[in-house]
Structure 1
Amino acid sequence: MGAFDEGRFNVELENGVNLGGCVELGFEEDPETVAIEDSVKILLQGLGEDVNREGLRKTPLRVAKALREGTRGYRQRVNDIVQGALFPEAGLETGIGHAGGAGGIVIVRDLDLFSYCECCLLPFQVKCHVGYVPSGQRVVGLSKLSRVADVFAKRLQDPQRLADEVCSALHSGIKPTGVAVVLQCLHIHFPNFESAFFDLNHQGWVKMLFTSGAGVFEDDKADIWGDFRSLLKFRGINFEKTCPRDSSYKCWCPSQAISKMGPANSGMVSAVASIIRSLGEDPLRNELLETPTRFVKWLMNFKNCDLEMKLNGFVLGRMDALRPNVNIGHLDEDIHSELNLSFWSQCEHHLLPFHGVVHIGYIRTEGVNPIRKTILQSIVHFHGFKLQVQERLTRQIAETASSLLGGDVMVVVEANHTCMISRGIEKFGSNTATVAVLGRFSTDLASREKFMQSIPNFPTARE
């Protein structure tokens, strides 16, 4: 776990804050942006990609914009955010008790944040809950609690340090009787290419709870924590899953257990270190020393190679007919379906992961046997593990399945894109669906409707 940098934090409190901290429009010529673009080109070339092909030409700039927006907290400080938003409010300054909220506490719940994991550079999602007990007959504007949390979230982070920094900033800035911060964090657990085929029970998320307290909340066994927890119980929070402070890395970032893939490309590693430096961080900081290597090893899952040749050999070697006891969905005597085939991919526009499920329906024609679910899952993985866009992925799966199933195929892909949360739009919980129809499905409305109705009605995000 990264140590809380108290010295750097105190300097920020003293110097104030630049409230215009978002990335400026027209910043493309900034040296930092140009440096990130150059580094992204090196990464794309290391993946065997043509940086001038359609779809990738603007990727270096898009990545640079996303990273600078997502780490704008390095260009912000916290003092003026709260100093201009303290309001007088008479409280219980004598006798026993505290004023404000329920039992003395003011709580703002369900603040959606995202941050970049300093261990692997992948974005993670945060549901933040902040509480404080007012003192000195003053309260703070509630929106400022969110703004302070966002300043520290928009940096390369470890969740425990994020909780500690938000807590310390508020305790120093508004001088309350106490501050408490609870973070529900979700880190995507992206499988590597090989394990995706063999680990059918792969868990796609690591979910952890992190807490921090100051003042009357400093003792995590204090009675005041009972009030805080009671007001969060309706949010489905299980405090038994709180990550121990001394083992944050071990129980949090999946990249800590990254498989051995041999030495990483030194040029790509240097490029990632350059990106970290351009964002305002020190790549030689102890917690960041291995980050470039981890990121490159993860990124190499999507190296451009002759997947079509591999796919043909893989499928032809497994095209045995189904045994009678194999379970496959039947919508009627002709329409078959395979639902909820998992997929993992990498957006070629922003170099950020997207993932979800694929549903395949097909009309069985005479002389064509149904094929095993494992083969359809393999088709999905083969097309998923490369730089992609969801529309192309849907079409490629449909075309490949059609060549094996007789031509009448419908494919629905439901996906969650991390680029939808880790850029300026920050649309948490959004989901994208794409559809491809071939053969009779393109003209037979009844068949399309029947297949659509068979698709489970549940979200693929954050579950």
Structure 2
Amino acid sequence: MSNQKKIEQAVYQLLEALGENPKREGLLDTPKRVAKMYQEIFSGLQENPKDQFTAVFSEGYEEVVLVKDIPFASMCEHHLLPFYGTAHVAYIPSQGRVTGLSKLARAVEIASKRPQLQERLTAQIADALQEALQPQGIFVMLAAEHMCMTMRGIKKPGSKTVTSAARGIYKEDKEARKEIIAMIHNKEK
């Protein structure tokens, strides 16, 4: 568990280092608020995404399972600025073993709640599902806007970074990968 007081002290010192007065009215409780916020947005450091796949059912189903447009937010470990977007998680069960659909979204949530790189986040989600279910194939795609590219540096709001991780059939079979990408991009009416 993170240390609330240490975070508060660090935020207080940061405000001072920026030339701000942490004792002025508007900033008095800022260190406490920021510490509480950081404990929430970095809560994934206390959990493992693969632990979400404890509910496994034998259904005899061996076709595509896709949960798409899962919103997520994370923090870029290089600048401690947010990046946010959507995740798409697909797998083809092996031996009919499926998991609860909400578990896929929960794994995304946990993996995103830590200092991250989008590339690592994508792989961690795929690896957690692989370890838990050993499916025939896994495909994870994330599309996100990074505030480190919007607020600073290049300053290009609206630009998206897309990453993917393919395992099993989706890594080996180009047609299967094309099919899942088409399913992800399909907008139902």
Task: Report if TM-score (shorter chain) is over 0.5.
Answer: yes
Corresponding residue for residue 88 of structure 1: 58
Q: Is the 8 A contact 2:50 2:107 kept in 1?
A: no
Quote the Cα distance in structure 2 between the aligned partners of 1:218 and 1:31. Answer: 38
Quote the Cα distance in structure 2 between the aligned partners of 1:215 and 1:47. Answer: 50
Quote the Cα distance in structure 2 between the aligned partners of 1:33 and 1:42. Answer: 14
Give the letter for the 1:228 counterpart.
I
- Per the alignment, do residues 31 and 181 of structure 1 end up closer, same or farther by CA in structure 2, a change over 3 Å counting? closer
Paired residue for 1:125, among 57, 61, 84? 84
Quote the Cα distance in structure 1 between the aligned partners of 2:152 and 2:128. Answer: 36
* CA drift at 1:151: 1.2
Aligned CA RMSD, in angstroms, stands at 1.8
Quote the Cα distance in structure 1 between the aligned partners of 2:120 and 2:2. Answer: 29
Q: Is the 8 A contact 2:89 2:140 kept in 1?
A: yes
Moved over 4 A (4+): none
Give the letter for the 2:52 counterpart.
I
Q: Secondary structure at the match of 1:110?
A: strand
Which of the pair is proportionally richer in helix?
2
Give the letter for the 1:90 counterpart.
G
* CA drift at 1:206: 3.3
Q: Secondary structure at the match of 1:119?
A: coil
Q: Deviations over 1:236-274 (max 9, x none)?
A: xxxxxxxxxxxxxxxxxxxxxxxxxxxxxxxxxxxxxxx
Q: Deviations over 1:318-339 (max 9, x none)?
A: xxxxxxxxxxxxxxxxxxxxxx
Give the letter for the 1:133 counterpart.
I
Paired residue for 2:39, among 64, 68, 74? 68
Give the letter for the 1:180 counterpart.
F
Counterparts in 2 of 1:233-252, with a 5 A limit?
Answer: 233-234=185-186
Corresponding residue for residue 276 of structure 1: none
Corresponding residue for residue 169 of structure 2: 216
Q: Is the 8 A contact 2:45 2:113 kept in 1?
A: yes
- 1:109 paired with 2:80, answer no
Which of the pair is proportionally richer in strand?
2
Corresponding residue for residue 16 of structure 2: 45
- 1:155 paired with 2:126, answer no
* CA drift at 1:229: 1.2
Q: Is the 8 A contact 1:115 1:126 kept in 2?
A: no
Give the letter for the 2:179 counterpart.
D
Quote the Cα distance in structure 1 between the aligned partners of 2:152 and 2:161. Answer: 19
Quote the Cα distance in structure 1 between the aligned partners of 2:145 and 2:75. Answer: 11
Quote the Cα distance in structure 2 between the aligned partners of 1:207 and 1:35. Answer: 34
- Per the alignment, do residues 191 and 162 of structure 1 end up closer, same or farther by CA in structure 2, a change over 3 Å counting? closer
Unaligned 5+ segments in structure 2 are none
- 1:190 paired with 2:142, answer no
Q: Is the 8 A contact 2:94 2:135 kept in 1?
A: yes
* CA drift at 1:166: 0.4
Quote the Cα distance in structure 2 between the aligned partners of 1:168 and 1:161. Answer: 10
Corresponding residue for residue 358 of structure 1: none
Corresponding residue for residue 381 of structure 1: none
TM-score normalised by the chain length of structure 2: 0.91
Q: Secondary structure at the match of 1:204?
A: coil
* CA drift at 1:126: 2.3
Q: Secondary structure at the match of 1:49?
A: coil
Counterparts in 2 of 1:1-16, with a 5 A limit?
Answer: none
Q: Deviations over 1:110-149 (max 9, x none)?
A: 1000000011100110200000001112211000001111
Corresponding residue for residue 454 of structure 1: none
Corresponding residue for residue 7 of structure 2: 36
Unaligned 5+ segments in structure 1 are 1-29, 92-98, 196-201, 236-463
Counterparts in 2 of 1:13-412, with a 5 A limit?
Answer: 32-83=3-54, 85-91=55-61, 99=62, 104-188=63-147, 189-191=150-152, 203-219=156-172, 222-234=174-186
Aligned residues: 185
Q: Which has the higher contact order (CA 8 A, sep 6+)?
A: 2
Quote the Cα distance in structure 1 between the aligned partners of 2:17 and 2:52. Answer: 43
Q: Secondary structure at the match of 2:25?
A: coil
Give the letter for the 1:49 counterpart.
E
Quote the Cα distance in structure 2 between the aligned partners of 1:72 and 1:124. Answer: 16
